Amino acid sequence: MANTTISITKETKKALIELGTKGETYDSIIKKLIKRFAWKKLDDEWNKILASDDFISLDEL
């Protein structure tokens, strides 16, 4: 897989370093953040559906 360069501020770089562990690459930290965000987004969507839809219990079927 080809690598690319992205421009980030020093503040963002510092935040990435603080979120990672010793020896962890920026790439792995960003991947971890993306994965957590995706799960959070999915969880929020499910909670929105659960809060707005009417459900029938299995006993009622």
**Is 5 part of any domain?**
no
Q: Which domain holds residue 37?
A: 12-52
Number of domains the chain contains: 1
Percent of residues, the chain, with pLDDT higher than 90 = 70
What pLDDT score does 41 carry? 95
How confident is residue 56, by pLDDT bands cut at 50, 70 and 90? Answer: confident
Q: Tell me how far apart the alpha carbons of residues 28 and 5 are, in angstroms, rounded to a whole number.
A: 15
Q: Tell me how far apart the alpha carbons of residues 11 and 23 are, in angstroms, rounded to a whole number.
A: 19
**Is 28 part of any domain?**
yes
**Is 4 part of any domain?**
no
**Is 59 part of any domain?**
no
Global pTM value? 0.70
Q: What is the mean pLDDT of residues 6-25?
A: 96
**Is 34 part of any domain?**
yes
- Average pLDDT score over the chain: 92
**Is 38 part of any domain?**
yes
